Amino acid sequence: KRAAYRAARDLPSVTQDGVDVTLLMNAGLLIDMAHLPETGAAGVGLYRTEVPFMVRSDFPDTDTQAELYRKILDQADGRPVTFRTLDIGGDKVLPYFHEADEENPAMGWRAIRIAMDRPGLLRGQLRALIDASEGRALRVMFPMIANVDEFRKAKAMLDKELERAEQRGKPIPESIEVGAMLEVPALVFQIDALAGKADFISIGSNDLLQFLFASDRGNPRLDGRYDSLSAPVLSVVQEIVRRCARSGIDLSVCGEMAGSPLDALALIGLGVRRLSMSPANIGPVRDTVRSCVTTSLQGFTESLLNRTDRSLRGAMLNFARDHG
């Protein structure tokens, strides 16, 4: 099967009725980048910048970071890379940076919240990203945004760093796009307020589902209790799709949902056209995309929204079997 996926890597990711679905890859370490040509992914939809921070014993300085980001962009060879700024705290602990113990780390001092309180960390990272881009496209996204003000502040820091680079006569990125991760349910109802501010939104379904069902993503006791293929999740995704379309904001999904063929099918049925996933999932999801017809899929997925079953996985599987 692996060989078959490899052979199919250059086949376009287009549905039977001619709809393009962009397949992107998630990455963290430099070695992950080798999967880009291997899988035929269109780019990196989520580069988790905290991963290289996690395998060290102290904070990398700005130059060290810039060197790494430059290598990532070199390896991407012109394909877009979306750098997510540090998402530490919660389940991602840096051995050299842990402050007070928290009762609820997933809902605690993490990600953009740390960046707001320790602006030096984010500033250094943004500086490194700008430095590494030099004349190339730069895409930056901020994790765990819960309100528009956090996004506005983070983006202002990026603008300030750009200005600084310009003043110093340094090469700046050829283009810049800035986005927010949608992981906190409250952000769904602020998408309209991000219009004109955010270029894109990426749904982090791992965190979004954990908060939607109040169900710790790392607790094995809760495995299988809630299903991503269920009416509440699909309804939320539908609402996000609508609001993003209305606000002119590009949408992608970069959590685990995007990499599961059945979940991806539902996402496509709801109008999502950009999916970012682990490299190993690209082949199976490409097969799924190439075998589906969006018009019938859309009707079917929307019919699922009224169902009360705990899981719609069986229903989706039957549909997939009946439709190639």
Which parts of this chain interact with ligand PEP (CB under 6 A)?
46, 48, 87, 183, 204-207, 254-255
Nearer to ligand PEP, 122 or 292 (CB): 122
Per CB under 5 A, 269 contacts Mg ion: no
Residue with tokens 């991503």: 228
| Residues binding Mg ion: number (CB under 5 A) | 3
Site string for Mg ion, 180-209 (x = CB under 5 A): ---x--------------------x--x--
Nearer to Mg ion, 203 or 244 (CB): 203
Going by their DSSP bridges, the two strands 250-253 and 44-48 should be labelled as: unpaired
Minimum Å distance from CB 1 to ligand PEP? 26
What's the start-to-end Cα distance of the chain, in Å?
A: 17
Nearer to ligand PEP, 172 or 208 (CB): 208
Nearer to ligand PEP, 255 or 261 (CB): 255
198-211 per-residue burial string, b: 16 or more CB within 10 A, e: under 16: bbbbbbbbbbbbbb
- Selection from Mg ion, ligand PEP, none that 48 binds (CB < 5 to 8 A by kind) is ligand PEP
- Euclidean distance between CA atoms 107 and 236, whole angstroms: 20
Instruction: Give the torsion sign (CA, 132, 138, 139, 142).
Output: positive
Per CB under 5 A, 256 contacts Mg ion: no
Minimum Å distance from CB 166 to ligand PEP? 32
Minimum Å distance from CB 317 to Mg ion? 27
Helix, strand and coil percent figures for the chain, each rounded to 5 = 50, 15, 35
Minimum Å distance from CB 11 to ligand PEP? 26
Per CB under 5 A, 179 contacts Mg ion: no
Nearer to ligand PEP, 19 or 68 (CB): 68
Q: Which residue is closest to Mg ion by CB?
A: 207
Minimum Å distance from CB 305 to ligand PEP? 22
Nearer to Mg ion, 87 or 199 (CB): 87
141 near 148, Cβ under 8 Å? no
Minimum Å distance from CB 207 to ligand PEP? 3
Which residues in this chain contact Mg ion in the complex, by CB under 5 A?
183, 204, 207
